[in-house]
Amino acid sequence: MRLLESIKAWLSPPAPADVGTPIQRLSNALLLTSLSDQDGFVLCANEAQMFMSFFRDGVFTESLDLPAKLALPTQARLLEMVGFDEHRPQEERLFLRMDNGRVEPFVAWIRTSAMGERLTMAHYKNDAGERVLDQRPFFEELARGRRAYEARDFEGALRSTAIALTLTDSDRYLMSFALGAKLSALIALGAAPRSEEAFVLQSIEAALGARHPVTLRVTAELAGERLKFAQREEALHLWRSVREPFFVIFGEDDPIGAELAALL
């Protein structure tokens, strides 16, 4: 109901002092709607069809076919909320503060395809919202690890992920996220224990669900790492387990997906 009201508010001429407010309400309504299901997330795409959809439990359960005048500014507003710009990494976190003081966390990805910009936003489970504000040091440490990894300082990346793990406060999602980063560094060093890889993937799936965007993304990235080290059969096994829902969520021209699709 809140979503329909926000759409009507946008289509109705606003008072001069309220210009821009309806699209802010619509953007919030999209995020709040995704909270109605623990495994739900919002897929927002600025492509030829200009559509926004809700994807839950591996299937599309609702779709909004929006006109460009609605889709374009809504996506722009979501990008503004997440804090994307051309100089930042294309994966970020958004902490949405609720009226009751609770904070709900989202993870967002953006990329530019032949059809335009594509934004995917996923809500991940937050069983103790009051801790989310204390998790910024975790993400900052993980960002330092990512920069070290990109500079091929894999030992530095491992040190950062080890510190990040001490900041998770037993949160299964954050532990899995840090372990995934640790595993990427281990693979880059040529030493990735199979037992640890299985533990990471099982932890993420247990925390978020097998078809959650975070689960799919980590699995695909691990497959990509295996491919770099000429471990083709292992990469193929990982990719087959996530290929179909991955393309539904991130698009068939996603760089990681396109590279892995060449395996088939």
Confidence of residue 159 (pLDDT cuts 50, 70, 90): very high
Distance from C-alpha of 256 to C-alpha of 220, rounded to nearest angstrom? 7
Residue 37 has pLDDT above 50, yes or no: yes
Q: What is the mean pLDDT of residues 147-161?
A: 91
Q: What is the pLDDT of residue 240?
A: 92
* pLDDT, tens digit, 9 for 90 and up, residues 173-218: 677 778 778 877 887 787 666 777 787 788 888 877 788 888 888 8
Q: Which residues, listed in sequence order, are joined to residue 121 by a DSSP beta bridge?
A: 42, 108
Does CATH number 3.30.1380.20 belong to domain 129-261?
no
Question: What is the DSSP-derived secondary structure letter of residue 16?
Answer: G
82's CB contacts (< 8 A; 6+ apart) are 92, 93, 94, 106, 108, 110, 121
Alpha helices (H) in the chain, listed in sequence order: 2-11, 21-34, 68-82, 136-150, 154-165, 172-188, 194-208, 213-228, 232-240, 243-250, 255-261
Instruction: Name which of 58, 84, 88, 105 is nearest 215 in CA terms.
Output: 58
More confident residue, 263 or 151: 151
Q: What is the mean pLDDT of residues 109-128?
A: 73
Q: What is the pLDDT of residue 18?
A: 44
- Adjacency order of strands within the sheet including 41-45: 59-65, 51-56, 41-45, 116-123, 103-113, 91-97
* pLDDT, tens digit, 9 for 90 and up, residues 231-255: 888 889 999 999 988 888 888 878 8
Q: What is the pLDDT of residue 126?
A: 59
Confidence of residue 5 (pLDDT cuts 50, 70, 90): low
- Residue ranges of domains in the chain: 2-123, 129-261
Q: What is the pLDDT of residue 11?
A: 45
Q: What is the pLDDT of residue 10?
A: 45
Of the candidate CATH numbers 3.30.450.90, 3.40.630.40, 3.40.640.10, 3.40.50.150, the domain formed by 2-123 belongs to 3.30.450.90
Q: Are 54 and 40 in contact (CB under 8 A)?
A: yes
Residue 100 has pLDDT above 80, yes or no: no
